[in-house]
């Protein structure tokens, strides 16, 4: 509930102070850590640098999730664990069919996709800000 109050306020501040009208996705430190911890693409067959984590404020529609899970992506992999969306893109992510825009379109959501390093840095920043 709180994310639905915070996200529009952040979007409005960005618009007022920077200019673009951008949707925002809000996640707590705990949610981001859980997402990293639940990563299904681990082990020697997966390069963590090629794993992407998709965050959304939306509740995922089960029928759209099932439809998307049935698709194939030519060597790329999709995993949806609860409300967490994971992409494994072994090649150039900029040329991938399976990307943030595709996931947004198929699941009818607003989302943001980030890599492991970015989410890890965000957690570190939060930890540094909350130190006593």
Cα-based distances in Å from 34 to 31, 81, 95, 125: 5, 11, 28, 16
Give the predicted TM-score (pTM) of the model: 0.86
Confidence tier at 45 by pLDDT (50, 70, 90): very high
Q: Any idea which of 49-58, 68-77, 90-99, 110-119 has the lowest mean pLDDT?
A: 90-99
Cα-based distances in Å from 24 to 11, 20, 58: 6, 12, 11
Tell which wins on pLDDT, 128 or 26.
128
Residue 6 has pLDDT above 80, yes or no: no
């Amino acid at each position: 509930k709180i994310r639905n109050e915070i996200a529009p306020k952040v979007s409005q501040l960005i618009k007022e102070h920077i200019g673009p009208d951008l949707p925002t996705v809000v996640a707590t430190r705990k949610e981001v850590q859980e997402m990293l911890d639940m990563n299904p693409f681990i082990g020697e067959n997966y390069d963590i640098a090629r794993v992407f984590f998709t965050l959304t404020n939306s509740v995922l529609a089960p029928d759209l999730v099932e439809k998307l899970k049935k698709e194939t992506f030519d060597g790329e992999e999709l995993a949806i664990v609860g409300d967490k969306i994971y992409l494994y893109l072994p090649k150039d992510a900029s040329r991938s069919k399976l990307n943030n825009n595709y996931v947004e379109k198929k699941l009818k959501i607003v989302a943001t996709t980030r890599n492991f390093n970015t989410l890890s840095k965000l957690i570190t920043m939060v930890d540094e800000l909350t130190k006593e």
